[in-house]
Amino acid sequence: MYLRPVHAEASIPILQQFIRENPLGILTTSISSPSYPLIQSSHIPFILDVPKISTETPSNGILRGHMAKQNPQAKALMDALAASKAQGNNTLELSDEVLVLFNSPHHHYVTPKFYTETKPDTGKVVPTWNYAAVQAYGKITVYCDSKSGETGSYLQKQIEDLTNHAETSIMGCTGEKVKPWLVSDAPDRYIELLKKNIIGIEINIDRLQGKFKMSQEMGKGDREGVISGFEALDTDVGKRIAQTDEFNGKNYVYSREFAPNATRFEAILSSLLNGHAVSYTTGLAALHAALILLNPRRISVGEGYHGSHEVIAVLSRLSGLQKLSLDCPGEQLEAGDVILLETPVNPYGTAFSIEEYAKKAHARGAYLIVDSTFAPPPLQDPFVWGADIVMHSGSKYFGGHSDLLCGVLVVKRKDWLKQLFEDRLAIGNVMGNMESWLGTRSLRTLDVRVQRASQNSTQLISWLNNSLNTPDAAPGSEASIVQKVLKKIYHASLQDEPWMKTQMPNGFGPVFSIILQSEEFARLLPTKLSFFQHATSLGGVESLIEWRALSDSRVDRKLLRVSVGLENWEDLKNDLLQAFKSVIQ
């Protein structure tokens, strides 16, 4: 592969991830045979195994695949195997290297018209092509005889692993809503017939080369012209190439400006959140950045997270920012002012109509910031309903494992994106390298985690609400026990406004609050639980419960905030029930 240093990707984990995301490779072999061409190539989907080895040098990995025996390339391999059978071999390792080429599906012609800096100045520009590719080189081992125990086991594992990877990672059939197709779903005799008519191949990768050619060599003006040009095409491929060009064109000189891990994290979030994402050290840092960007004279805000009010208080002290109530008359807002809408709102988990507040803001020339921390993807997309900026405390569901701090802003306007990056460089609230890596790790399971936690929460609330509203509950029944402890439940799933199901079509969020019959019950209940941990924060895989008055003096002292995790919901129900019994004894 011809590699200019500016286009080369040397990180082995990044190259391995590229292979996993683009598993259809082109296998090229050179086999001397009187019956078949010397050079042959075939498209084959591969599985990449990366053995865990105790060394500082990462393993390049092992590629596994299979191909039909009727394939001329397979026949040439089998002929080579037959020639080695005199030595009693049931497998073959070729002495020469083979090549497997993996390509990104996103590639595009680059017209010189995109070079908005150089073309008008000198005219010294030529067309080119942007693309990404990885080449894997190594020795190939061939498994041909399915009757052999070693080969039969290899082929069985190969087709099962490849199918599982394709069904879950490519098709998204994780079993939550759609079950994956399994090899075991097919008749055993049919699978044996399949194995009889294929050969297995295994390539121990000696070296990997990666080329991500995305206009990195161009000057800033030309690179921005390329990105804008692809975006203007308004095609799916054009948009993806624009994102990839922007990602690979970052100048990684000083980490306060740009860092590879943070850029990757932001690129994934941009796709998930349908805008341009910028990451920060914390959620409050993100809110601070949004208010610096917009510099409003007034901000209309509800109760919500107490930390947001502390940020507003700081800006009020510095700039005279005036705070208005969320339900203030629209006439009190002026052009450039801000409505900060937290929905669902902390600590209750109840929701507001984003569309209603967007209309209120835009009628006065004001902006709407939506804090969607409690409703991450796939639960809610505030941009659909008119939000100007979306923010998240990524420490919660984007992190998902209670091991990182981060905040995220998402905007639609490119001029805002540019200003946010410039402001972040000056203020210094850039997300750390390790936190960015952890965030990227966590986003791989975001959809599964959020949907499971949301479903658990809805089932718990349904049980509590039904128990609370059971008339004439029999003494000693679950309903009577719940009624002795519980007074009220807050959650979006209990709201009956017509806009609720369209604003949150995929679930109502994993956080809710309950008001107990007495402050004493609220103080004691968290100490009686086993599955729920008595702790603040939320969004992790574990369920938490918090006597909220400990951290927020504004709330009812009988209120408990509940953050539901990924445990079995019936275990959580039984834990709550035994705790209810304990506090009333």
Rounded percentage of the chain residues whose pLDDT exceeds 90:
71
Q: Return the ∠ at Cα 243 (arms to 237 and 248), rounded to 5°.
A: 120
Are 352 and 248 in contact by the 8 Å Cβ rule? The answer is: no
Residue 204 located in a structural domain: yes
Query: Which of 390, 418, 444 is the endpoint of a domain?
Result: 444
Q: Which two tokens stand for residue 268?
A: 């994934």
What are residue 184's phi and psi, to 5 degrees? -65, -10
Mean pLDDT of the chain: 91
Q: Are residues 178 and 36 in the same domain?
A: yes
Look at 567 and 145; give whichever has higher pLDDT.
567
Helices 283-294, 306-319: axis angle to 10 degrees equals: 40
Asked if 241 and 106 touch (Cβ cutoff 8 Å), the reply is yes
The pLDDT, as a whole number, for residue 55 is 46
Report the half-sphere exposure of 456 (CA within 13 A, side-chain side).
23
Check residue 252 and give its pLDDT.
61
* Number of structural domains the chain divides into: 3
Identify whether residues 208 and 139 lie together within a single domain.
Answer: yes
pLDDT over threshold 60, residue 553: yes
Instruction: For residues 309 and 193, state if they share a domain.
Output: no
**Whether residue 118 is found in the same domain as residue 198:** yes
Q: Which of 444, 468, 495 is the last residue of a domain?
A: 444
Say what the pLDDT of residue 168 is: 80
In a domain, 25, yes or no: yes
Q: Residue 447: is its pLDDT beyond 70?
A: yes
pLDDT at 487 over 70: yes
Per the domain annotation, does 241 fall within a domain? no
503 part of a folded domain = yes
Is 112 in the same domain as 202?
A: yes
Boundaries of domain holding 92:
5-213
Q: Using CA atoms of 163, 165, 170, 171 in order, give the dihedral in degrees to the nearest 10.
A: 50
DSSP class of 332: G
Contact assessment for residue 241 and residue 233, using Cβ atoms and an 8 Å cutoff: no
Whether residue 222 is contained in a domain is answered as no
pLDDT band (50, 70, 90) for residue 292:
very high
SS3 82: helix
- 301 with 157, same domain? no
The answer to whether residue 225 is domain-embedded is no
Residue 486 is assigned to a structural domain of this protein = yes
CATH code of the domain in which 373 resides? 3.40.640.10
* CATH code assigned at 488: 3.90.1150.10
Note whether 390 and 487 are same-domain residues: no
Tell me, yes or no, whether 230 lies in a domain: no
Q: Indicate if the alpha-carbon torsion angle 438, 439, 440, 445 is positive or negative.
A: positive
What is the structure's pLDDT at 193?
93
When pLDDT is cut at 50, 70 and 90, the band that residue 88 belongs to is: low
Our CA angle for 94, 197, 174, nearest 5°, is 95
Quote the distance between the C-alpha of residue 194 and its chain's center. Answer: 36
Q: For residue 248, what pLDDT is reported? A: 59
The whole-angstrom separation of Cα 230 and Cα 108 is 9
Q: What is the pLDDT of residues 517-537, one digit of tens each?
A: 999 999 999 999 999 999 988
Pairing of strands 338-342, 62-68: unpaired
> Does 433 share its domain with 486?
no
Residues 429 and 327 grouped into a single domain: yes
Query: Are the C-beta atoms of 349 and 509 separated by less than 8 Å?
Result: yes
Distance CA 280, CA 315 (A): 18
For residues 75-92, give the mean pLDDT.
Answer: 72
8 A C-beta contact, residue 143 and residue 199: yes
Q: Are residues 550 and 501 in the same domain?
A: yes
Q: Is the dihedral of CA 114, 115, 119, 121 positive or negative?
A: positive
Examine the domain organization and report whether 338 and 482 are in the same domain: no
Q: What is the pTM of this model?
A: 0.66
Closest residue by Cα to residue 431 from 255, 230, 224, 196: 255
Q: 437 and 336, same structural domain? A: yes
Domain boundary pick from 403, 420, 444: 444
Q: Average pLDDT of 401-420?
A: 93
Q: 183: pLDDT confidence band, cut at 50, 70 and 90?
A: very high
Q: What is the DSSP string of 12-46?
A: HHHHHHHHHHS-EEEEEEE---SSS-SEEEEEEE-
Q: Which two tokens stand for residue 215?
A: 């206009």
